[in-house]
Structure 1
Amino acid sequence: MLIRKSVVLTIMIVVLVSAQLYAQNFTNRGKEFWVGYGHNWYFASRSISNYNTQEMVLYLSAEQEAHVQVSVPGTNWIKDYVVPANTAISTAPMPKGAAIDAGADARLTDEGLFRKNIHITSDVPVSVFAHVYGNTSSGATMLLPVDVYGYTYYAAGAVQDYDATCYSWVYVVANENNTLVRITPSRITKGGRQRNVAFDITLNKGECYNLMSDQDLSGSKIQSVAGRDGICHPVGVFTGSSRTSICALDLGGGGRSGGDFLMQQGFPTSAWGKNFLTAVTNSTDGFTAPNMNRFRVYLKDLANTTVYRNGAPLTGIQNGRYYEFMSATADKITATGPVMVCQILHSGLGCNATGDGDPELLYLTPLEQAIKQVNFYSTGKETILHNYITIVVPDEGMSSLKIDGQQVFDHTYAHTNQPGYKVVVKELPLTAMQHRVECDTTFTGITYGLGQAESYGYNIGCNVNNLAAFAEIKPEDKDVTFSYVCTKTPFLLSVKTIYEASAITMHFSRVSGITPAQDVTINNPVPVATSVINGRTYYTYDLKEKYLFTTAGDRDLPISITAPSIDNCSNSEIVTVKIPVQQGPSFDFTFNAGCLPEKVLFTPIPMSTGAKPAGWEFGDGTTSTEEKPEKKYTSDGKYDVTLRIVRESDGCRGDTTKQIIIKPLPLAGFELPQTVCMPEGKTSFKNTTVAGGTVTYQWRFGDGTGATDKDPIHHYAAPGNYTIKLTAEAEGCKDSATMTLAKEVFVTTPEPAFSIAAGKFCIDDLVTFTDKTAEDPARPLSRNWDLGNGKTAAEQAPSTYYTRGGTYPVTLNISAGGCTPRAITHNVQVNEPPKTDAGADLLVSPGEQAYIRATVSDAGAELLWSPSLYLSASNVLSPIVTPATDQKYYLKATNKDGCSSYDSVVVKVYSEIKVPNIFTPNGDGIHDAWEIKGLQNYSNATIDIFNRWGQCVHRITGGYRNAWYGTDAQGALLPAGIYYYILQPGVSGAGKITGSVTIVR
């Protein structure tokens, strides 16, 4: 029976790290990729029920926003994608066609030449992964960009054991035209290619040749050789299986315990290593239950390479290319030559495997290609029950190792065969998600998923550097090797290679921006030194020529190495090394003028740390080594002045050239204001420049702004010390004047503030205002009050009266230091009292009651009579009065605003009037005046006096304030006799009193 299997594809985003061989650094990230739609059991025969039900998708991962195009050249199938930064997306399925010969069908359906491979391009580096999945099979691989394609590969797969329509396969894809590939199959192929018999195939860009066999093609050699153009072109190689079982159990009835599709892109032999630390996969039975895995170690140089497992040599070479062993422990693999190690998971329960799982193939990272950080994203498919990651890391890296930002691990143990290393195991969630592993030291690792007869697994990421050669860089005056070169700095180049070369060609003509740009070939070079790096012996070859880059940027330098030990087309290999070119150190410099007859002062301005001036060239044939030279030109004109600089730490050089024009000199000058009033900040500058001809001005106000007016007005936002610079230019000749506008001249007029005495105000109340403005003792305030009633004041706390009700705006103007006043206004509400009339005076008889008839304009006013003596009530408008004696009453009316008014009324008690009927106004002092007793209480009384003929001879008004002495109205004495009178008291109800009086002389 068939056990279903699926894959959870982990998308790895490999982050660039510092390579141990610093002249190059390649990973699986790139801008251009190729991949074929590898042969799958599902499109092998139309007779099976699941024919062509598999799908192939790509996963695109980007660290910055990427625009990616996926196409099948030669067809109209083109898809464009935008990948957001720090994310991964899935493409649409690759075209598989309903019919095998469909134009957009990308499948590699048989052995032979195909021109329908899948092409991926991006505007920025991305990571790309291919995933093929169907009902009972799945497989995935990390794609390598064309930048890391190599020249020699060996197919690294697994045993081929399944249906007759399933094949072990390997295909090679070209990225350049005229690519001649020599293929040596390790087994007889489906197309009749013989075992160990090489044949050549010429490929153009995007074409591939697919090799198929019903036997394991592992160990087959694929090598790029010189084509018609005489060049060996790099290629990419993929290895896989339509479907295979690995150590499957016989389940009876023809069923076996598992089989699956395999697909991996191989590493060129130039990227193989000599040191590996393995760690077996974890069993789902528990974290302390390691599973049994199978390992294959592939050799590049069979004759000269010995492989050791935990110090013991391996024996029993298979398929003419690899050793194979099984292990349930962490092992150490070392070799005397380059090798590649594959880790294989068995079919479910096969070869003593325990727990859940099924076949899978993983390529392991050599320690030489280890990484420091990696991102990967998992996406769940079918019935995976457990996801794991297994990492091998040095002990000193444990303190910084993080998985998904945490130092939480499920199982950690010492590496069984390598002291100083740990194996870390962590179970990951089944939820599709992205993960990140990071560490201060380099590490290697694999990730895998296990289910009931289900599994997946692959390398989590690595560098893919060609370890056959790298470059060393030395500035011409430094006997120290650097990992970079600087622009404008001559340098010497050395090549370190594992080959004892018979010829080396440096292809400088293919490098942009280098001088000289001619290729250099050294025949029969003699190494100047040998060194051992990571267990490999490197030969060092020096170039005598000095080279120079004018612009910055990483440069790829192709190096052709010829050596008898290189087993390819012409015993030569092209290795591309990176030369990082950094921008050289830089200085700027200023000069104070360029006008006769003044000296010009040149001042260097550092722009790069650690650099210093190395000399000046003034453009007139003279030089200086002073740091800040002064130069006096003898004639006007244009001069190119160059400052040479050098950085002592790495010998990097640079220069800065500026042109100076020597012309007659204007004399720039200006005057600063004495005071700047804030917050307006208005500042006027008076230009005092002396110059002839047309003059232009450039002002810099010290706050990042400027102006070109002759006498500018500028507004500062805040007080401070501002460096004011005026540059005057006349006929291209400039002079500058600089002065500091000190913060002491900035005068900030305080924000006015004043208070008003609390309470409600009525007319004629005294209202007091108090200035609360914060005062600077150094700048006394000047105050100007407008009290709103036509009155002003200058003191701190003025007072005033308001004679009418209403709203009065009171304004306080504050100035300090002569600056424009600032004002604040508050309103004062003045209320009017009610109008009050206590009524007419009253005259009453003793014991008589009377009403006082008062009126008040505000019916709601509060009333109060005082005194309350003899009144029926003191808080009513018309109280009853019953006086015993004369009394004056006061009425106070107070409205809701608390304003009061007053009036009074007099109540007189009627008194008896006694009129005498005779008096003797003869001047003897006895009865000289007519005095009427009781009349003094009647101030409105009138008395008319008549003679016997009825003539009115005298009239008394306004009460009897003065006695009558018997005179007429003119004051003349009246004759003795009888006179008649009419007395009117002048009060209500008093009537008249009449009678006669006799004057006796």
Structure 2
Amino acid sequence: MKNFYFFIVLLFVAGFVPKAVAQNISNEGLEFWTVFPTHDPNGSSLATMNVNVTSKSNSEVTVTCGTYRETKPIPANTVVTFLVTRSASYIDYADGNKVLTNRGIHITVTPGKPKVVAYSHVFASARSAATLILPYDALGQKYFSMNYTQDIGLITARNFLVLVAAEDKTDVIIREPNGTTQTVKLLKAGDVYEYIPSSYTVDLTGVYVEADPNTSSCKRFAAFSGSTSVGIVCTNGRDPLLQQLYSVNSWGKIYGVVPFINRRCIIRVLAQEDNTAVSLNGTAMGILNKGQFIEREITSSTIVAADKLICVAEYSLSQNCSSSTGQLQIGDPEMVLLNPIEFNIKDITVFSSNNFRILEKYINVFMKTAKTSTFRVNGSIPTNGTWLPMPSDPSYSYIQIQVYEESLNLRADDGFNAIAYGFGQTESYAYSAGTNLASSQFLELVNNFSNSINSTTCIGQETDFKLTFPYLLSKITWKYDDGSPSYVDNNPVYTTSVVNGQTLYSYTSPVHKIFTRTGISTVSATAVLANNTSSCINGELDLSFTVEVNALAAPDFNLPTDICAGAEIKFTDLSAASGSAITQWKWDFDGTIKTEKDPTFIFPTAKTYKIKLSVANASGCWSDILTKDLIVKKYLPVLVFNALEPICINAPKKQFTANETLGLNAAEKVFSGDGVTANGLFDPAVAGAGIHKITYTFTSVDGCVNTVTRDIEVYALPKIIVEPEIYILSGGHKTMPATISNPSAKHKYKWTPATGLDKDDILNPVASPEKDTEYTLSVTVDGMCEVTAKVLVKVLGEINPPNSFSPNGDGINDVWNIKSIDSYPEALVQVFNRNGQKVFSSVGYTAPFDGTYHGERLPVGVYYYVITPKNGRKAITGPLTIIK
């Protein structure tokens, strides 16, 4: 038999590598490699390398690099920072293009401890970059570099591509788009090679690196890319770029791109194969060949798709032009590699950094619209953001959530993609919040108690094993480290799937294993290959897996007392977590299921109810069911308080009535609100105009209290403003000049009589009566609250003065009688002699002209008159003859 030790991997490209750890497919892991790449300082401020570690469960981690070594406990749901010694880890500009021994930063979990999530963060004054670190099992053999075109900046401003050996004797070939190649020999795990081009004009995006297929076909390595510093779009601000690269088989065909909040961004789409057709929101962007990329600026959420595998990077801009309108918005350049829809995740713990001087922190999340209601941050529905549909495909939605904590658990019932990022004054960072990755072999644990498939299992709950493998197996023998009997699967049944062109075989073995202790257990298996096509393996394979066994949480909750049937009752979860935080709740209220942490429920009748609670931790372990009896003896009063009709402010007081329909005896019955007494007598004048809430409270002798509230609107009396007297010319017309205070659709109008009006039901009709008429305007509010006002319309006749009169005392025409002059009480009547001397003047014509001046008779002859009627009429003039 040939012995090989295989491990469940997050990401696998080609072949298997001996290693002593087993893992499932996410960015959680037990072993990691990262680097401290070349960094352009801002003045004399040198960069610092932090490794930040968090976990769902209590764990322990050791970080080493050269002479640096430090071990720290990792409490569940907290962030622990390792400050890696600069002298041991930093890659100086002069160290570029050289193999550096033992310069890789190695992160390992103490054997037997749970998995962790790791991030590296390089920062200094006005210089910051960070990346999610992928575990060893996620490392591959083929990568493409992703960078950004350098601006004219510092002398040392360059793109870089850093390679880190995870295995001894790893040969890596660097292939540039122009056909140039070079081979880098990394003799020891932890050896580092930073490729830096000779000129700032060289953009390394599209450079392809792979393990030498002749010498290292079964080796894997880590790759990082970025820039020592760069300005993007506007070059008055710069920042380093740093991201760990995903192996090519963790690329996808569909990506949801959500811009950094309130900012525009740039995306690059990189092709893995020739003739790759790329589209943006369904519109063709172009055809790419291997290593080529398309760059676009976007301001709204976008879906990028292709017919072959692509990689998508999102970039923030320099601060002075980064807003969505091109204006200043805090932050500086940053690059984040996005995860495709194909490799989303359902549950992950995220680190959200505060360094360096970060002022705003956010999480962008992209997922199916139908499942957004299940998304939780630290067990709660997010409130610092709003789900919005993707403009080009509303079946997907996105949310931009402002966050404040450093450790965040993100969870949903369906997969999501997310990035974490932060901005400060000329500071920024961004990285994937977590992901699942392509793998050609991995172990999943089938929990028969919860009927779920997870990467971990639970103590005391029956578990089966699901092994996914790239080869056909004829036999699997499972062995345990606790001495329990082995399980032999002589004829393993499989299902097939195709991932990125590779056929995978999944074998579910009904081992019915029950783990009796928490922590890390080792499960071994001997697999017999039925058809081996790999150059690395053949015959029988010895597989070794680590399985994380989680304790069950202890469910508990408060049991309310003095319950009234019909009242809404709140329950408070008091469950105790064990190892990892509680993230799910299942309440059973006599058959009604609720999943909130602290739900409310209305018990309809008085009886004994069975309340059940089961809780699950972040690892998916459901507790036993806790049942408590809740006795409901009393009833909540059922009240009838009919809707209240509007009322006028000057209406008489009104008595309100309300009733309790169950026949309960009352300890107290009280009305409350504006203008109402405790016994329900309502005075609209005291309440005042407006809408008022009137509440009726009934307290039974058992102490059950219920209330019902109704609105009542008090109408203010309309205030009418009119001119009491107006004038129109005979045969003419005029709009009635009336106004009211605060007019509304509720106001109704009525003029009486209607004679001489074009309409009688509007506020301002047109009046044209034939004679003087007094009109009455009535205004009501919803048919009540009537007020009135009167308007006298005086009709002015035609002034027709005679051209002579004979003041001889015979009683006939002794005075100058002017027809209709009495309609013009303000008229000015003047008479002049032939010399222009005024011999008569009168305002109003109450005393007609009698042909005298200062008591003396005027001589016969021709005089001249001027009559000014006022009231809008022109002056009337003409000759007037006095005769005998």
TM-score computed with the length of structure 2 as normaliser:
0.49
**Structure with bigger gyration radius:** 1
Higher relative contact order (CA 8 A, sep 6+): 2
